[in-house]
Amino acid sequence: MYLGRRMQRLTGVVAVVAAAAAVAAGCSSSSTPPSSGGGKAVKGGVASVALPAGITYNWIFPFYAITNASVYNGQQFQWLMYRPLYMFGNNTNTSVVINYPLSPANAPVYTNGGKTVSVTMKGWRWSDGSAVDAKSVIFYMNMVEAEKANWYAYSKGLLPDNVVSYKATGPNTVTFQLNQAYSSLWFTYNQLAEITPMPEAWDVTKLGGAPGSGGCAADSASDGWAKCKAVYTFMTAQSKQAGSYATSPLWKVVDGPWKLSAFSTDGHVTLVPNTAYSGTPKPKLSAIKFVPFTSDSAEYTALKTGAVNVGNIPTQDLPPKPATSPVPATDPLGAGWTLQPFYSYGISYAQLNFNNPQIGFMVRQLYMRQALQYIVDQPGIDKAIWRGYASPTSGPAPTTLPNPYAPAAQLANGGVGPYPFSIAKAKSLLTSHGWSMMGGVMDCGVPAKCGTGITKGQQAKFTFVYSTGTAATTAMWQAIKSDASKAGIDINLVGQSFNTIIGESAPCAPMGPKCNVQVFAYGGWAYDGPGFEPTGEPLFSTGAGSNSGNYSNPTMDSLINQTHTNSSLAVFHQFATFTAQQLPYMWVPSANPYEIIAVTNKLHNVKFNALFTLLPEYWYFTK
């Protein structure tokens, strides 16, 4: 969300964004710097990277539903091979802005009072020699029109609904006519940024089909987008066949700096340089291998034995965080390793399912959500479990990196927001709304006071499905369960893999049979798409593709919509304050305001960007 026609955004905000953009432009296109005390830089070598515990890549087609959306499938897998229209972040720890030097398109040009947008491609080539051109963009936009219901980035009224027309106005230029004037920063960061050019080789309905034979790139609404629907069905089916990723001719056509060499469904993945890559810098490594682990203890053992070159150190194996440094004073791995912080520009939470038949009516009551928030001891959890390496979440604006978006409401009470830890307040809220303690669990005794849809005798019981593999995460939810019990709230914890949980996270009909998950506690959200400005439409808008909890509030929808057309920071703060107060989600400590990453001293220029943008083309070994 961002620049464009509303240069009247507060001067401080413009300065922050402009300065960051300058850094991105300056750093992203640079060549490898000389080695600093680590020996002579060499070309080649295989870097082994430990995947977070419980994580595996499982989706390659860069058009997908929320059930396959994650930073691991996206920024750390697909983006290495298939560049989005606009890349974000650079090879530093903190950049969260657009990176034009790494993008296949030039900066968009806004005219007609902000209602006309032109995007010109740079003339890159796919690895099969075809052009990354206007047709590549039209192909993706047609797919969005045809399958927006299956697109994780869709929010009603936004892309593609807010585009009156789009067409190629030159071999490399696509011109969009919008239904009204939008903030050019917002439209660039939260609309255009969701487009990924696709090769003609994917516009097919069968393996071996002639490129373009599917007809999606030339399709239209006149046939109900039938050709695009057929291509989508075929490509989605191919993406489900993970065992063939490394051998299928479809996925060999790339425009990024890397291409797939080996892929195992157990999580082992190898990428090698795409020698036809049009951009810069070119990869210096001969390969990068991603290694899966079922637990953080197993991953830590691999680090200690040198089985991997890069990985995060589990919180339980770190010394307490120093007050004046982002990394510990001593390295638990000893000599031969360098530690660096991995900041995350995002928020952490549990998504309450407002349409679940068992708990939906309860969590639709604001007082119940407030009670659930009061039982989360964020400072205590940070100190006892995260060892000082966490920070509170209090609303939609991230607070882990300097930014202007967090309002006073989020910064209140030491950063935990309007609802600081208080078991007494949680109990008082429930008893004042008709609940009473029965056998250690709150029981609705006065339905008229409990709220619409809550029946007499219903108990304050909730099942949280949380992501396994990380000991500190498990300990956090156990601590929350314990504190909740003191207020008469019974939380049942069910551990599942991250991929399993997001596979269950599609929005569902009110009280419908597919709404069986009560609370999604899989982690949180990094503002790295859909939406790189934290205006909230992917998460909190009614019917949004990533709104797994089915939250809906007309005031929220209105406040979000205002941030799309008015760049005033005060307007954003109104939205963020309302969100902090209304609790569409249950905020928990940011499990990863930053992780501590260990990198072997033989591997250089390794950084983990706050938007999860992984850029191993900058990495190199030394002798």
User: Residues 229, 350: one domain?
Assistant: no
- What pLDDT is attached to residue 66? 84
User: Residues 410, 535: one domain?
Assistant: yes
At 509, which CATH number?
Answer: 3.10.105.10
Query: Distance between CA 564 and CA 415 in Å, rounded?
Result: 26
Please give the tally of structural domains in the chain. Answer: 2
Q: Are 253 and 127 in contact (CB under 8 A)?
A: yes
- What pLDDT is attached to residue 400? 80
Task: Tell me whether residue 72 is in a domain.
Answer: yes
Task: Tell me whether residue 439 is in a domain.
Answer: yes
Task: Tell me whether residue 256 is in a domain.
Answer: no
- What pLDDT is attached to residue 33? 36
Which residue, 238, 273, 298, sits at the end of a domain?
A: 238
User: Residues 215, 353: one domain?
Assistant: no
- What pLDDT is attached to residue 38? 57
Which residue, 189, 214, 238, sits at the end of a domain?
A: 238
- What pLDDT is attached to residue 435? 98
Q: Are 83 and 62 in contact (CB under 8 A)?
A: no
Task: Tell me whether residue 611 is in a domain.
Answer: no
Peptide bond into 538 cis (omega under 30): no
Task: Tell me whether residue 419 is in a domain.
Answer: yes
Domain that holds residue 397: 346-587
Q: Are 183 and 564 in contact (CB under 8 A)?
A: yes
Q: Which residues pair with 48 in a beta bridge?
A: 289
CA angle at residue 154 from 152 to 159, to 5 degrees? 140
| pLDDT profile of the chain (623 residues), mean per 10 | 23 31 32 48 95 93 91 94 96 90 98 96 98 98 97 93 98 98 93 98 98 98 98 98 97 98 97 98 98 95 96 91 89 93 89 96 98 97 90 91 89 96 98 97 98 97 92 93 98 92 86 88 86 91 89 96 90 97 94 80 92 94 92
HSE of 623, CA atoms in CB hemisphere, 13 A: 4
Which residue, 222, 238, 254, sits at the end of a domain?
A: 238
User: Residues 353, 234: one domain?
Assistant: no
Strands (E), 450-568: 461-467, 490-496, 519-526
- What pLDDT is attached to residue 57? 95
Residue listed under structure tokens 């940070």: 382
At 216, which CATH number?
Answer: 3.90.76.10
Q: What are phi and psi of 348, to 5 degrees?
A: -120, 145
Task: Tell me whether residue 190 is in a domain.
Answer: yes
State both tokens at 272. Answer: 């090698």
Task: Tell me whether residue 580 is in a domain.
Answer: yes
Dump the DSSP string for 497-522. Answer: -HHHHHHT-----TT-TT---SEEEE
Task: Tell me whether residue 118 is in a domain.
Answer: yes
User: Where would I find the H helices in 77-123?
Assistant: 79-81
> What angle in degrees, to the nearest 10, is found between the helix axes of 226-239 and 134-147?
90
User: Residues 234, 356: one domain?
Assistant: no
- What pLDDT is attached to residue 591? 60
Query: Distance between CA 395 and CA 414 in Å, rounded?
Result: 13
- What pLDDT is attached to residue 573? 96
Q: Are 98 and 538 in contact (CB under 8 A)?
A: no
User: Residues 446, 573: one domain?
Assistant: yes
- What pTM value is reported for the model? 0.85
C-alpha 548, offset from chain centre: 14
User: Residues 392, 515: one domain?
Assistant: yes
- What pLDDT is attached to residue 6? 23
User: Residues 226, 363: one domain?
Assistant: no
User: Residues 216, 351: one domain?
Assistant: no
Residue listed under structure tokens 């070309």: 43
For CA atoms 305, 310, 315, 321, give the dihedral sign.
Answer: positive
User: Residues 224, 365: one domain?
Assistant: no
Q: How many CB atoms lie within 10 A of CB 123?
A: 12
